[in-house]
Amino acid sequence: MAKTNSEMIRELSAVVSTLEERADNTRYEVDRIRNSLDEHSRILTELTVQLREHSTRLDHLHRAEEVRSSRAWNMWLLLVGCILTLIANLVVAFVTFMLAR
């Protein structure tokens, strides 16, 4: 038995209603994903800024370590120089003492 125009319109109306509901759900999901992407983009930007700051701090720490290491090396050189000078003075004093006898 053939369907009447009214029955076909009711069926099409139900299909259209279902499709409209699916389209609304899809729009909602797209908006949710877009908001999530915006949030992720904001977080990524913040992390990039923090990474740059940490990189700069690390560079400063490396430079400070180089300066500290250089100063420590200079202190060791100064200490070795003092010890060698002391030994040389002791040798000169000993030789002078031995020659004066």
Read off the pLDDT of each residue in 27-37 and give the average, rounded to a whole number.
96
Predicted structure pTM score: 0.54
Region 51-57: what's the mean pLDDT? 97
pLDDT at 3 over 90: no
12-30 pLDDT, tens digit per residue, is 999 999 999 999 999 999 9
pLDDT for 64 equals 94
What does 40-94 look like in DSSP terms, one character per residue?
Answer: HHHHHHHHHHHHHHHHHHHHHHHHHHHHHHHHHHHHHHHHHHHHHHHHHHHHHHH
* Residue-level pLDDT at 15: 94
